[in-house]
Structure 1
């Protein structure tokens, strides 16, 4: 057998996935990631059209978001190796789109809101493509950066929760810039893990990349809304 097609040992002595398996996981991750955009957009559209999330107070909205998000992520972890894994993930992305609708609706209320949403979408796509290309170029193992990114994400979460009640635009802009940097790096980290054979479940891989893209888009949109929004 060609050595490039066989599994090779990791630094911990455990065999990694073969090149063929890694390519399959990466391909399925990209397909599922693309599919996940459909329920996300539907959820956001429904939320904007009905004003469902706008009816929630900031505190209640935060509790619904955290409870729903962590509940879905727990369910995804439990079903990722079964036939229910994909439907549960897609239901999660619908929920996340619904939760995003409050921000999207606020930005669309601006005179240039539609262009800001499209700019945020294009910017997120550009970041994803850049990180995907970079993950194919970098040869060194970058898995160790994951723990530092996780610490940064926890810090963002804590400060973000505080800002729900503080309502500081300056702090929101600072958080948005930091989030774009941290979650862009997370995209690179997660895709590189798949390419290196360290992540072999495409549902888990999709969840990680989706959450990073979601946070990048949300942060870009918030930043554009604060800095470039026009009321007239």
Structure 2
């Protein structure tokens, strides 16, 4: 009986420590995410103010994936924070040409605000589902891997074939992919199944929010014939 009580006590202690650690990672992740989103908004505004009308696709991919690689390499050090802001600042800057293009439309401002509102509500709703239900969404990992491959191939096809229906399908696919990624990443933190580094968790959620916003903006533009 004493042996069982000792095991139970150790299990409860381990669960309490794990829960406290997960909560710390979650708090740090959301705090850093809020700061990086604000910084991205500043760099996006700077890009618009500078009149940047186009972003070379090769510059985008080299910058985005190069800085992403740097974040992963420095995630366990203080330099990781600087890498994170460099990455999110660059990504925000790349939004400038997109936002500028929409601002030239008669209802461009409304489309941007609607996309922002939908992105915010979607993120809050999905996060609430993962946090309140405590459900383990680790089963989405296979879906995310397969989805990433399909979306990359569809994006490559979209570069060579300017088909509105294909653009709509890719954007819808990214909305589903980003939503699943938010559920998966939040679940990983809650259950401590894989992600205990708040820098990497922040970047994953940031990329999901970025893709969600751009995709929703694209869908709204296509649906309004813009």
Q: TM-score, normalised by structure 1?
A: 0.87
- Decide which of 85, 94, 99 is 2:94's aligned counterpart: 99
Q: Which runs of 5+ in 1 are unaligned?
A: 9-16
Report the Cα distance in structure 2 between the residues aligned to 1:45 and 1:4, rounded to whole angstroms. Answer: 49
Matched, 1:18 2:18: yes
Structure 2 contact 53–100 (Cα < 8 Å) conserved: no
Deviation at 1:37, TM superposition (A): 0.9
Report the Cα distance in structure 2 between the residues aligned to 1:158 and 1:200, rounded to whole angstroms. Answer: 31
Structure 1 contact 176–219 (Cα < 8 Å) conserved: yes
**Residue in 1 aligned with 2:212?**
216
Q: Which runs of 5+ in 2 are unaligned?
A: 1-8
Report the Cα distance in structure 1 between the residues aligned to 2:13 and 2:121, rounded to whole angstroms. Answer: 32
| Structure label with greater radius of gyration | 2
Greater share of residues in helix: 2
Count of aligned residue pairs for this structure pair: 217
Deviation at 1:165, TM superposition (A): 2.9
Moved over 4 A (4+): 1-5
Deviation at 1:139, TM superposition (A): 4.1
Report the Cα distance in structure 2 between the residues aligned to 1:195 and 1:139, rounded to whole angstroms. Answer: 7
Report the Cα distance in structure 1 between the residues aligned to 2:30 and 2:10, rounded to whole angstroms. Answer: 27
Matched, 1:196 2:191: yes
Report the Cα distance in structure 2 between the residues aligned to 1:30 and 1:163, rounded to whole angstroms. Answer: 34
Structure 2 contact 39–88 (Cα < 8 Å) conserved: yes
**Residue in 2 aligned with 1:74?**
69
Deviation at 1:158, TM superposition (A): 2.2
Report the Cα distance in structure 2 between the residues aligned to 1:52 and 1:130, rounded to whole angstroms. Answer: 34
Report the Cα distance in structure 2 between the residues aligned to 1:49 and 1:150, rounded to whole angstroms. Answer: 37
Matched, 1:46 2:41: no
Q: TM-score, normalised by structure 2?
A: 0.89
**Residue in 2 aligned with 1:183?**
178
Structure 2 contact 134–187 (Cα < 8 Å) conserved: no
